[in-house]
Amino acid sequence: MANTNNAGAEALRRLKEVDPPSLLAPNPTLSETARAASQYLFSSIRPFSQKCPLDQLLVDGYDAEQIWHQIDLQTQPLLSTLRRRVNQFVKNPDEIAQLKVPSSVAKKVEAKNHEEWEQESDDFDEELDEDDDDEDDFEGVEKEEKNGGSDGEEEEDDDDDDDEEGSEDEDEDEEGEKEKGKGKDSGIEDKFLKINELNEYLEKEENNYENAEEADDGDEDSEEDDELEKAGEFEMDEDDEDDDEEEDEDDEEEEEEGMENARYDDFFVGKKEKSSKRKDQLVEESEDSGDEDDMESNKQKKRTASTHEKQLEKIQSEIELMEKANVEPKTWSMQGEVTAANRPVDSLLAVNLDFEHNVRPTPVITEEFTASIEDMIQKRIIEGLFNDVQRAPRLPSKAPREVKELDDNKSKKGLAEMYEQEYVQKIDPTSAPLSSKDKLKNEASMLFKRLCLKLDALSHFSFAPKPVIEDMSFQTNVPALAMEEIAPVAVSDAAMLAPEEVFDGKGDVKEEAELTQAERKRRRANKKRKFKADAVKRSEKKARSEKKEDNAIPGQVNG
């Protein structure tokens, strides 16, 4: 290893001194040196890239492209972790100052690094993923620095930086876990711990996790990286004694803590948390067999928790809740006077408030209600019991005045006649014309008589013939049959028109259409003759009347 390292370093140095233009032309020696240098670099970075499946860079007989891909395999995850680490430092610049720590032994540094790794891996169960990131960043930064530094001389500085980072990580670890006890060197495999078993278990878990979470976030990737790193770490332990020691140290640390500071909390409280975190996140396999055993025992204990313990748990949780509620500020409904500003919007709607109603609540209209009302209405209608308001009878105060109707026609009497009438009325009250009262009386008596006649006719009890009223009225020529139907006895057909009254004509009466031309002419001639005779008569009349007027003695008073 050291010879190859030296050769590799040598090759690197030579490469550095090469002129860039000479690289343009293909040169077998240059390629040899380049391959050796890249191999050296690869192997030097190898300790920090745990995820890489390649042990060393395979150079013989490989194409440039293939070599490049091998390098890529190694560096890709490293770069991401380093970037994260740098971001971490960007956020907390104070850590950068703590980075620089004088280094003594590379081994120690490496050991410390590994220890820190393990510590942090153990802490992952209880800490957030940020710590994972921290460690990843830390590791990434390491690799980056190593990549950047082409000289092996810088490795020491890197180691120093790693030391500083490791110390920082130590400081960052706030949770006091049992793993804080670092620096305990006692790497002896115990009967409890078998490295081979560990490795097998780790590989199994790895496969499971990789299958389950292929497209996870970087955190989980980082965790995977951690696992891989841990796996790689353990693999490396096989290669390096130091790593074995580190492993043993880790194992021993846990075992020591288990042995020396054995408390209930160490076993059950911590393990419980660890197991819970395993369910939530990807648990680090670095919990090792001891943890596994403890966890298994824990699980068994949980399953067989006694009823008393269950009750206790219940009560405990309730108590916690109540205490929590008591500590918190009260809800708005339990506070005293609460204005709208002190309670959430529309919160009154959810609460059943109790207050006095001054208004009678509106009656709920149900079917029964309407049915009852309708029944009442029907009953009232049947009885005829309406609570009608009856007008109070007004006592007649005075005799009703005789209302004189206004006549809007032109009066036929002259003014003189009107005053004459008035005068006569004044002088001689007896000659006063019938007042309207009498008129009404007459009308009433007439109506009554007519009514009595009709009733008598219908009843046939007491026959009273219709009063003969000599008046000019039109006689309707109604057929006797109709009349008799209405009033069988009392009405006779004597009141109807006589045949002569129906038609008074002589000779052969012809219709308009039946007349011949000669007859029509004759008819017209007769008409004309009559008209002429009438005209003559009229003119004679007029002449006579005019003469009379002229001869009339003047002074006759008209009217």
* 87 belongs to the binding site for another protein (CB under 8 A): no
Q: How far is the CB of 364 from another protein (least distance, A)?
A: 55
Whose Cβ is closer to another protein: residue 383's or residue 549's?
549
CB atoms within 10 A of CB 105: 10
Distance CA 293, CA 266 (A): 13
Whose Cβ is closer to another protein: residue 326's or residue 556's?
556
Q: Tokens in use for 240? A: 């390096």
* 424 belongs to the binding site for another protein (CB under 8 A): no
One-letter amino acid of 555: G
Whose Cβ is closer to another protein: residue 436's or residue 475's?
436
Q: How far is the CB of 356 from another protein (least distance, A)?
A: 59
Q: Tokens in use for 306? A: 């006694």
Distance CA 106, CA 242 (A): 11
CB atoms within 10 A of CB 111: 21
Q: What does DSSP assign to residue 412?
A: S
* 391 belongs to the binding site for another protein (CB under 8 A): no
Residue from 419, 448, 463, 531 binding another protein (CB under 8 A):
419
Report the run of H or E that residue 85 belongs to, with start and end: helix 64-91
Distance CA 44, CA 6 (A): 11
Contact characters 499-538, another protein, x per CB under 8 A:
----------------------------------------
Whose Cβ is closer to another protein: residue 375's or residue 422's?
422
Residue from 196, 387, 516, 556 binding another protein (CB under 8 A):
556
Q: How far is the CB of 419 from another protein (least distance, A)?
A: 6
Distance CA 147, CA 538 (A): 156
* 433 belongs to the binding site for another protein (CB under 8 A): no
If DSSP states are collapsed to H, E and C, what string results for 253-287? HHHHHHHHCCCHHHHHHHHHHHHHHHHHCCCCHHH
Comparing C-alpha atoms, which of 186, 196, 83, 194 is closest to residue 141? 83
Q: How far is the CB of 405 from another protein (least distance, A)?
A: 9
Q: How far is the CB of 418 from another protein (least distance, A)?
A: 5
Whose Cβ is closer to another protein: residue 331's or residue 425's?
425
152-181 binders of another protein (CB under 8 A): none
Residue from 418, 424, 535, 536 binding another protein (CB under 8 A):
418
Whose Cβ is closer to another protein: residue 325's or residue 424's?
424
Contact 12, 150 (CB under 8 A): yes
Q: In 304-435, which residue ranges form alpha helices assigned H by DSSP?
A: 307-327, 367-383, 415-427
Whose Cβ is closer to another protein: residue 362's or residue 558's?
558
Whose Cβ is closer to another protein: residue 196's or residue 409's?
409
Comparing C-alpha atoms, which of 163, 155, 143 is closest to residue 49? 143
* 422 belongs to the binding site for another protein (CB under 8 A): yes
> CA Rg, the chain, in Å?
69
Q: Is 127 helix (H, G, I), strand (E, B) or coil?
A: coil
Whose Cβ is closer to another protein: residue 403's or residue 498's?
403
Q: Tokens in use for 317? A: 């949780």
Whose Cβ is closer to another protein: residue 417's or residue 519's?
417
Whose Cβ is closer to another protein: residue 322's or residue 424's?
424
Distance CA 231, CA 286 (A): 9
Q: How far is the CB of 431 from another protein (least distance, A)?
A: 14
Q: Tokens in use for 378? A: 């029907």
Whose Cβ is closer to another protein: residue 414's or residue 479's?
414
* 555 belongs to the binding site for another protein (CB under 8 A): yes
- Rama region for 547: left / alpha / beta (φ>0; ψ in -120 to 50; rest): alpha
Q: How far is the CB of 413 from another protein (least distance, A)?
A: 9
Q: In 362-491, which residue ranges form alpha helices assigned H by DSSP?
A: 367-383, 415-427, 436-459, 480-486
Candidate segments 35-43, 271-279, 395-403, 489-497, binder of another protein by CB under 8 A: 395-403
Q: How far is the CB of 558 from another protein (least distance, A)?
A: 7
Query: Of how many residues is the chain composed?
Result: 559
Contact 118, 284 (CB under 8 A): no
27-86 binders of another protein (CB under 8 A): none
Q: How far is the CB of 390 from another protein (least distance, A)?
A: 31
Distance CA 469, CA 77 (A): 140
Contact 178, 113 (CB under 8 A): no
Q: With contacts defined by CB under 8 A, how many residues of the chain interact with another protein?
A: 25
Distance CA 177, CA 170 (A): 11
Q: How far is the CB of 522 from another protein (least distance, A)?
A: 45
Contact characters 307-346, another protein, x per CB under 8 A:
----------------------------------------
Whose Cβ is closer to another protein: residue 387's or residue 397's?
397
* 426 belongs to the binding site for another protein (CB under 8 A): yes
Using alpha carbons only, what angle is made at residue 54 by residues 110 and 160, rounded to the nearest 5 degrees? 20
397-416 binders of another protein (CB under 8 A): 401-404, 406-411, 414-416
Residue from 6, 333, 425, 539 binding another protein (CB under 8 A):
425
Distance CA 391, CA 387 (A): 12
Interface ranges with another protein (CB under 8 A): 401-404, 406-411, 414-416, 418-420, 422, 425-426, 554-559
